[in-house]
Amino acid sequence: MAQKTSGEIEQEFIDGLKALTGKDLAAWMKAIDASGIAKRNDVIKWLKEDGGFGHMNASLLVGIHANGGKPVYGSTDTLLDNQFAKAADMRPLYEVFIAFAAKHFPGSTVIPKKTYVSIVDNREFAAINIKPKELRIGFDLGDRPFDEKIEKAKLTGPMPRISHMFVLTNAKQLDKSIVDVMKESHGRCH
């Protein structure tokens, strides 16, 4: 079973909102405005206590409200484009890395998220932060020691199990050693 994207989860939530609560998205946006509560966490608390929402759904609703009532995760293309807004020069290198990953892990899926790009096969085994001068490629390598190529992860977004990273600045860095690291990370997910 394929992992749902953030956009799919958000859209299912929006589509089921009226059946779940009796109010559609527009009505909830008005209710949040009318509550007069300004702080995000206070709105989440209010939605949980007065609206009967669980934490995840309350957080989704607050995120949509903060985004002007529009879905936050609308399309994966938009999510990816937003990540390249300050790093347009990195897109060609990103495309090379995605092709490299697809060649060695043909069953994997690339899922753009809000702050990073996830590569999954059963579960996330690699993550990419797009920076103006580099791509930070994160891996799930557990207690593996760090070395001159694979360092402690400094990524925004992915789960803490993405423990190590490789800084990619040039396509020539994509060699057998990186394939081996990706295989090790992939193996930990299966």
CATH number at residue 99: 3.90.1150
In a domain, 1, yes or no: no
Contact status, residue 72 vs residue 63, Cβ threshold 8 Å = yes
Q: What digits encode the pLDDT tens for the residues 48-71? A: 999 999 998 999 999 999 888 988
The mean per-residue pLDDT over the stretch 81-98 comes to: 95
Give the tens place of pLDDT for each residue, 99-133: 999 999 998 999 888 899 999 998 999 999 999 99
Q: 130 with 169, same domain?
A: yes
∠61-67-69 over CA atoms, to 5°? 60
Do both 178 and 91 map to the same domain?
yes
For residue 40, pLDDT over 90 is answered with: yes
Q: What is the pTM of this model?
A: 0.69
Would you give the distance in Å from CA 185 to the centre of its chain?
A: 18
Distance CA 128, CA 126 (A): 7
Q: What pLDDT score does 178 carry?
A: 97
- For residues 136-151, give the mean pLDDT: 96
pLDDT band at residue 23 under the 50/70/90 scheme: very high
Q: Is residue 186 within 8 Å of 119, Cβ to Cβ?
A: no
Q: Looking at the domain assignment, is residue 104 inside a domain?
A: yes
Contact 156, 116 (CB under 8 A): yes
Question: Do 57 and 88 have their domain in common?
Answer: no
Domain extent at residue 13: 6-66
The strand pairing partners of 138, in sequence order, are: 127, 165
Regarding whether 161 and 129 lie in a shared domain, the answer is yes
Highest mean pLDDT among 76-85, 107-116, 159-168: 159-168
| Alpha-carbon span 110 to 130, nearest angstrom | 14
Confidence at 8, pLDDT banded by 50, 70, 90: confident
